[in-house]
Structure 1
Amino acid sequence: LIAEAEGFSRTAYQLLSKLGDVSEMNFSQEELTIHVANCEILIVRLGLNISSTVMDAAPKLRYIASATTGTDHIDLEAARQRNIKVVTLKGETAFLESIPSTAEHTWALLLALLRKIHVAYSHVVRGGWNRQRFRGNNLAGRKFGILGLGRVGRQVAQYALAFGCEIAAFDPYLETWPNQNVFRFETAAELLRWCDILSIHIPYD
């Protein structure tokens, strides 16, 4: 059962159809609980909460697949208790290194904030043209702090370097520092005191 069908790859759908009966629909949380009774494999993204209630409504469920690195939307303990295997992209390092989507989105949001693009756009749509109200800020020369220098943090660091920022980070889990262009702080507090801009790239859990 593909429970969040919007934008789902047609190629992937065809491949899955060769393995068994595949249904797809964009379910609400309430609808999902009703339609999972005969489901053996549930494919989701981030829009639905796969709770113990959902699992109890799906006695045949054996796999939950989510094309995400995070698992906050899945009750992992409930899945473990029911012998349901959870398959995600977490740990798929080689594959994920080739995907810059999150880092690019981070940079787009940062530029929008510094250049006030979102409010300037709304102003123009309403017929305004007051440039002085929306003066932005440069990135070049800014002290750019990164909390968590994993895959996304490293990608963001490359963008910051290209924009001429001074870069530092804190990550207590790295034994080998991956980027010599990024200064390493020993504590998060030191990083926070130093930086003008902070980009956070750590898991919720």
Structure 2
Amino acid sequence: MKIIFFSAKPYDIQFFDSHNQAFGFEMEYLETHLGPHIVKAVDEQTFAVCVFVNDKLTTEVIETLALKGVKVIALRCAGFNNLQLETARKLGIRVCRVPAYSPEAVAEHTVAMLLTLNRKTHKAYNRVREQNFSLNGLLGFNLHKKTVGVIGTGKIGKAFCKIMLGFGCKVMAFDPVIDQNLLAAGIQYGTLEETISSADIVSLHCPLTADNHHLVNTKIIGLMKKGVTLLNTSRGGLIKTEDVIDALKAGHIGYLGIDVYEQEEKLFFKDLSGSIIEDDTIQRLTSFPNVLVTGHQAFFTKEALDQIAEITLNSIKQLSVGEEPAPAVMLV
């Protein structure tokens, strides 16, 4: 039984090959992303395609996969905003994902970005290597007793909340579903406006939907405290980048840490060090001294990759023999 992987990197091959010893699938890895330009390369022997966050599963792509006889689209990620679910449903293609792979990995990376921006350890590292031991320009602030606003308290947001409580922060949260365990731990839930306006640090941990696209825009930024720290390790489309740049220039946003970017499919997961990047927006962002950008790295731990490979292959195996994976894993 054949699986074709798109957007495959060396680490994908390493972890999926290792876990496939228990499954015995025939697996083909393609470095290119899945889109209209390559979908016809899928042959009629392919049972499943395995895709990642920047693969484009448009109606056209899914229709071609159906004509090729593909039975399963397996997302090796949690988000599915890059896929036309209704088309897959109409054409009888099953869609599975990995809804929770080491949420602590993403939460911990968010904290790492916060600490780096605040205490400027990246700048200190470069200074000391040049024998510059001056502290000028490296002033930070205590996290203790600061108010942290968490937008989205699913598994990742919940893990982040717990870490910030450990720093002695006051944690406020907004989510349509209130987590009773977080309430018992001391998290205060409020409206989006209440949470945003009260926070010294705002961290986004919600999925991208049609309703919250560009959630962070000029209006919402206007509710934030002057000098706020804004973190996004969820999806790039939650932020209207041009509005955030304006707020950085005005000094309203004090620090910005992003692991995701709305136009990241043209940039992330690639070595472009020898190229001219034509995206003026990302170039502008990286020019700010108070902005930290990482390339969709937050998920990237051994534990997370082990879980992604195991859950994905097990879901495909179950579907191949007529079994149903757990409801949280299945989208269609």
Report the equivalent of 1:192. Answer: 196
Give the counterpart letter for 2:6 in structure 1.
A
Larger RCO (CA within 8 A; separation ≥ 6): 2
CA distance in 2, matches of 1:162, 1:49: 39
Match of 2:31 among 16, 26, 29: 26
Partner of residue 108 from structure 1, selected from 92, 105, 112: 112
- Structure 1 residue runs of 5 or longer lacking an equivalent are 91-95
Deviation (angstroms), 1:203: 1.1
Give the distance between the partners of 2:121 and 2:189, measured in 1 at CA: 32
The change in CA–CA distance for 1:175 and 1:131 in structure 2 (over 3 A counts) is closer
Query: Could you tell me the TM-score, scaled by structure 1's length?
Result: 0.82
Report the CA distance between 1:35 and its aligned residue. 1.7
Q: Deviations over 1:132-176 (max 9, x none)?
A: 112122211111121222211211111111111122222232273
Alignment TM-score, normalising by the size of structure 2: 0.53
Unaligned runs of 5+ in 2: 210-332
CA separation of 1:155/1:167 partners in 2, compared to 1, >3 Å: closer, same or farther?
A: same
The equivalent of 1:5 in structure 2 is: 8
RMSD of equivalent CA atoms? 2.5
Change (3 A) 1:162 1:176: closer
With over 3 angstroms needed to count, the CA separation of the structure-2 counterparts of 1:97 and 1:3, relative to structure 1, is closer
Question: How do 1:1-205 residues align onto structure 2 when only pairs under 5 Å count?
Answer: 1-6=4-9, 7-8=11-12, 9=15, 10-16=17-23, 18-19=24-25, 21-29=26-34, 32-38=38-44, 39-58=46-65, 59=67, 60-90=69-99, 96=100, 99-121=103-125, 129-174=133-178, 176=180, 178-205=182-209
Task: Determine helix, strand or coil for the equivalent of 1:145.
Answer: strand
User: Percent identity among equivalent residues?
Assistant: 26
Q: How many residues align?
A: 198
Does structure 2 retain, via aligned residues, the 8 Å contact 1:157–1:182? Answer: no
Indicate conservation of the 8 Å contact 2:103/2:155, yes or no: no
Q: Do the aligned residues in 1 keep the contact of 2:34 with 2:51 (CA within 8 Å)?
A: no
